[in-house]
């Protein structure tokens, strides 16, 4: 895959391979460099009747959902991949299941990575 961005006129989109993160080997996410939007797929899945966009914590609801579905791969690439995504410094995390987030997306991603790191350490 090329490192070139896909320019669609007013947006510059980059595909980010994320094998096994959050689950399948063929996983990958898109990042809109123009709007700093990470299309985060299932990384922050949460359940319930929720607003479309929030500016509050989305990590805790994601960890609760993980406790229900157990869908995230706990492999060695999980935490480093989430931290690589945090380095993009997104301002919007567009989620597949749950409220999307607008604000300091890097902090939400770092918090998610820390939560998984702690969980994986407990399992070791």
Read off the CATH number of the domain in which 79 is found. 3.60.15.10
How confident is the model over 10-49, as pLDDT tens digits? Answer: 999 999 999 999 988 889 999 999 999 999 999 999 999 9
Closest CA to 107 of 115, 98, 97: 115
When pLDDT is averaged across residues 84-100 and rounded to a whole number, the result is 97
The answer to whether position 1 is within a domain reads no
pTM of the model: 0.92
How many Å separate Cα 42 from the centre of its chain? Answer: 7
Instruction: Supply the mean pLDDT for the chain.
Output: 93
**Count of domains forming the chain:** 1
Q: How far apart are CA 102 and CA 104, in angstroms?
A: 7
φ, ψ for residue 24, nearest 5 deg: -75, 150
The answer to whether position 64 is within a domain reads yes
Q: How far apart are CA 77 and CA 79, in angstroms?
A: 6
Q: How far apart are CA 118 and CA 120, in angstroms?
A: 6
Domain of 31 in residue numbering reads as 6-123
């Amino acid at each position: 895959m090329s490192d070139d961005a896909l320019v669609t006129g007013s947006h510059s989109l980059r595909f980010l391979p994320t094998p096994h993160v959050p689950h399948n080997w063929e996983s990958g996410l898109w990042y809109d460099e123009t709007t700093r939007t990470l299309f985060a797929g299932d990384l922050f899945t949460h359940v319930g009747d929720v607003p479309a966009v929030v500016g509050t914590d989305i990590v805790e609801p994601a960890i609760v959902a993980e406790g229900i579905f157990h869908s995230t791969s706990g492999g060695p690439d999980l935490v480093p991949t989430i931290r690589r995504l945090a380095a993009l410094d997104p301002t919007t995390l567009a989620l597949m299941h749950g409220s999307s987030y607008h604000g300091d997306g890097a902090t939400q991603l770092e918090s998610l990575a820390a939560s998984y790191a702690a969980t994986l350490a407990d399992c070791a």
